[in-house]
Amino acid sequence: MSSTREAYGKAIEELGEKYPFYVFDADLSQATKTNLFAKKYPDRFFQAGIAECNMMGMAAGFATCGATVFASTFAMFAAGRAFEQVRNSIAYPNLNVKIAATHAGILIGPDGGSHQCIEDISLMRTIPNMTVLCPSDAAQTLPCVEAAIKKEGPVYLRFGRNASPDIYSGDVQFEIGKGYQLRDGNDATIIAIGDMVYEALVAAEELSKDGVQIRVIDMPSLKPIDEELIVKAAKETGIIITAEDHNIIGGLGSAVCEVTAQFCPVPVIRVGSKDLFGRSGSKNELAEYYGLNSQTIIKAYNLRKKMISKK
């Protein structure tokens, strides 16, 4: 059990040996864990100071010279403050900058609403040329980061702050554009990202005690998204529940709806921040307060079933 930001720090530290990329950070290297890379490869690490917009521009300048560059800061400042720099200086010229954003979502804990970015997936997903990835545990992070390095063009990587339970073990496969079915079932499908993948598995396990078989899909590639897997789930299970530590507007829930609406309309119930800013609290308190847990997923399923049986 560890956080995806720590796994990111370790991943670039390890992959730095194999790939000649550079890393920029904006005075948060202790928190984003790019300090591990900085220590090992001091000549390939650059501090931008607390100036995220310029960091994105400098990273873009590096990339025009043929370099692959990671630019790291908190999601709020990477996708939020520097949105337009990411859009115009990185994505528009399709440059090889990997925007590695940590501390995404409400579950980062006590920093509160100003730092709990619930809009980043929405913002990044809408930019042409951009790939958007969100690994769900530490083990998946390394292959996810390596896939981003191999992918030509800009990639947004979303990492959490706090330790989350392990989902994967051993030699983990990761492919951009692929979702991963973690549990089979035909009564409904939960599609989840990040911390919510574990909650989805817990919810499925709970529901199985009532004889309900829930399919669980981890969807770490938000853009491009695995349309085939979503459509298959929609056809075979008839109900989809999405679960994300992000606003239900514009994030995973919306991305799944875009696919089902076009290819196989089924009810999609979106679990996540219900268009609400975050607040200070512990991870568990916040999960409870905002409904970012297995209980909310179970309630969402039961409510939907009740609605169907009333018809």
Which residues are known catalytic residues?
52
Q: Which residues of 152-174 are buried (b: 16+ CB within 10 A; e: fewer)?
A: ebbbbbbbbbbbbeebbeeebeb
Does 60 interact with other proteins (rule: CB under 8 A)? yes
Region 28-47 residues binding other proteins, contact defined as CB under 8 A: 43, 46
Figure out which of the listed residues 7, 11, 28, 58 binds other proteins, where binding follows CB under 8 A.
58
Return d(Cα 166, Cα 150) in angstroms, integer. 25
Does 67 interact with other proteins (rule: CB under 8 A)? yes
Does 27 interact with other proteins (rule: CB under 8 A)? no
- Distances in whole angstroms, Cα of residue 217 to Cα of each of 79, 84, 239: 26, 32, 13
Are β-strands 214-218 and 180-183 bridged in parallel, bridged antiparallel, or unpaired? antiparallel
- Cβ 85 to other proteins shortest distance, Å: 6
User: Which helix (H) or strand (E) covers residue 188, if one does?
Assistant: strand 188-192
Name the segment binding other proteins (CB under 8 A); options: 48-56, 141-149, 188-196, 273-281. Answer: 48-56
The Cα angle at residue 180 between residues 178 and 182, in degrees rounded to 5: 175
Structure tokens at 232: 């298959």
Does 62 interact with other proteins (rule: CB under 8 A)? yes
Does 54 interact with other proteins (rule: CB under 8 A)? yes
Name the segment binding other proteins (CB under 8 A); options: 31-39, 61-69, 174-182, 275-283. Answer: 61-69
Q: Which is nearer to other proteins, 52 or 119 (CB)?
A: 52
Which parts of this chain interact with other proteins (CB under 8 A)? 43, 46, 48-49, 51, 53-54, 56-67, 84-85, 88-89, 92-94
